[in-house]
């Protein structure tokens, strides 16, 4: 199998780390995007050692900042001539209301706006690969209704972290389906996935400590959670599949609102404005 250049966000821990490690062990060239230089460097070294693969590069960026995302995209353009695989793995569930440096609700900024902007800035490199794959780590946690203004700027009075997460992940699905149509015929594929119910330090923090041992018994490991991302990144079975949502290796339907073409277009145009890619 030809070695691919694979960029993975949130690659220093959890599913992102296991995805990067798994792809590195297959001999691919890995670009790890991490928020923290030290933790990223430690993860980079661990993957290089375990995979016996020196082609594991570290790029540092805070994906809650659009300025940082632009700097990251510039670095990728300067160093690499193409991207075969772009995996948007970084995300977060925040226990209280926070806003990003750009003024958006933090869950929406990290889980949705970051992959939207990074994809738009790197799409030329994905196209240059001749068969690039864009992969969004989404969720079965989805919103039955989607109101764009509330997703980006929810009311502090009625804020609920799980509702914010559902809205952001539903936006990711809408972006996936819209971008798949935009890139149709180009050789680029765009898919989303549910990694499973995964035990990570972040997921453990949202429950009382006495429940955590039980969580480990019934939840999957990050290594198991990385399998679908690796499958979508490398399998010949899905080389032509685009605009789909995967649970394990099977496609699945998502909430009806995610397929609403008018809402997809509204989300796309507003996201272009919010990220400064077009002017009012």
Read off the CATH number of the domain in which 192 is found.
3.40.50.720
Residue 40 is predicted with a pLDDT of 98
Rounded to a whole number of angstroms, the CA Rg of the chain reads: 18
The answer to the question of residue 246 being in a domain is: yes
Residue 271 is predicted with a pLDDT of 98
Q: What is the pLDDT confidence band of residue 217, given thresholds at 50, 70 and 90?
A: very low
The answer to the question of residue 280 being in a domain is: no
Residue 200 is predicted with a pLDDT of 55
In this predicted model, which residue has the larger pLDDT, 138 or 199? 138
Question: What are the b/e assignments for 31-52, b being 16+ CB within 10 Å?
Answer: bbbbbeeeebeebbeebbeebe
The answer to the question of residue 88 being in a domain is: yes
> Over pLDDT 90: what percentage of the chain?
85
Segment 156-181 mean pLDDT: 96
Q: What is the pLDDT confidence band of residue 87, given thresholds at 50, 70 and 90?
A: very high
The number of beta carbons lying within 10 Å of the beta carbon of residue 98 is 17
pTM here is 0.92
Segment 45-64 mean pLDDT: 98
Contact of 56 with 20, CB cutoff 8 Å: yes
pLDDT (tens digit, 9 = 90+) per residue, 229-272?
999 999 999 999 999 999 999 999 999 999 999 999 999 999 99
| Total number of domains in the chain | 1
The answer to the question of residue 279 being in a domain is: no
Is it the case that residue 213 has pLDDT exceeding 80?
Answer: no
The answer to the question of residue 29 being in a domain is: yes
The number of beta carbons lying within 10 Å of the beta carbon of residue 65 is 18
d(CA 107, CA 163): 10
Among the residues of 64-190, which ranges form H helices? 66-79, 106-108, 114-128, 148-152, 161-182
pLDDT (tens digit, 9 = 90+) per residue, 117-156?
999 999 999 999 999 999 999 999 999 999 999 999 999 8
Phi-psi region of 266 (alpha: psi -120 to 50; beta: other; left: phi over 0): alpha
In this predicted model, which residue has the larger pLDDT, 34 or 217? 34
Is it the case that residue 225 has pLDDT exceeding 90?
Answer: no
Range of the domain at 246: 5-274
The answer to the question of residue 106 being in a domain is: yes
Residue 199 is predicted with a pLDDT of 47
Q: What is the pLDDT confidence band of residue 210, given thresholds at 50, 70 and 90?
A: very low
Is it the case that residue 59 has pLDDT exceeding 50?
Answer: yes
Residue 1 is predicted with a pLDDT of 60
The answer to the question of residue 25 being in a domain is: yes
Q: What is the pLDDT confidence band of residue 224, given thresholds at 50, 70 and 90?
A: confident
Positive/negative CA dihedral, 149, 202, 192, 121: positive
| Catalytic residue annotation | 165
Is it the case that residue 215 has pLDDT exceeding 60?
Answer: no
């Amino acid at each position: 199998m030809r070695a691919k250049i694979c960029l993975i966000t949130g690659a220093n821990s959890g599913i992102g780390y296991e995805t990067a490690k798994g792809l590195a062990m297959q001999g691919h060239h890995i670009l790890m995007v991490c928020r923290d230089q030290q933790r990223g460097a430690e993860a980079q070294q661990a993957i290089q050692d375990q995979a016996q693969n020196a082609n594991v590069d570290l790029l540092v960026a805070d994906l809650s900042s659009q300025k940082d995302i632009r700097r990251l995209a510039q670095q990728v353009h300067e160093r690499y001539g193409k991207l075969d695989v772009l995996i948007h793995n970084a995300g977060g569930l925040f226990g209280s209301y926070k806003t990003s440096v750009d003024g958006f609700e933090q869950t929406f900024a990290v889980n949705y706006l970051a992959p939207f902007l990074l994809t738009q800035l790197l799409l030329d490199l994905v196209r240059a690969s001749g068969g690039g794959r864009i992969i969004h780590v989404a969720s079965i946690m989805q919103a039955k209704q989607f109101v764009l203004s509330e997703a980006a700027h929810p009311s502090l009075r009625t804020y609920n972290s799980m509702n914010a997460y559902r809205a952001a992940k539903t936006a990711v699905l809408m972006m996936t389906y819209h971008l798949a149509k935009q890139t149709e015929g180009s050789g680029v594929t765009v898919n989303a996935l549910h990694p499973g119910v995964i035990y990570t330090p972040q997921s453990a923090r949202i429950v009382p400590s006495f429940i955590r041992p039980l969580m480990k018994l019934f939840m999957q490991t990050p290594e198991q959670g990385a399998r679908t991302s690796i499958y979508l990144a490398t399998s010949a079975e899905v080389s032509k599949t685009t605009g789909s949502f995967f649970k394990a290796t099977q496609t699945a339907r998502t909430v009806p609102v995610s397929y609403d073409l008018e809402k997809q277009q509204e989300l796309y145009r507003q996201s272009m404005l919010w990220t400064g890619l077009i002017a009012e």
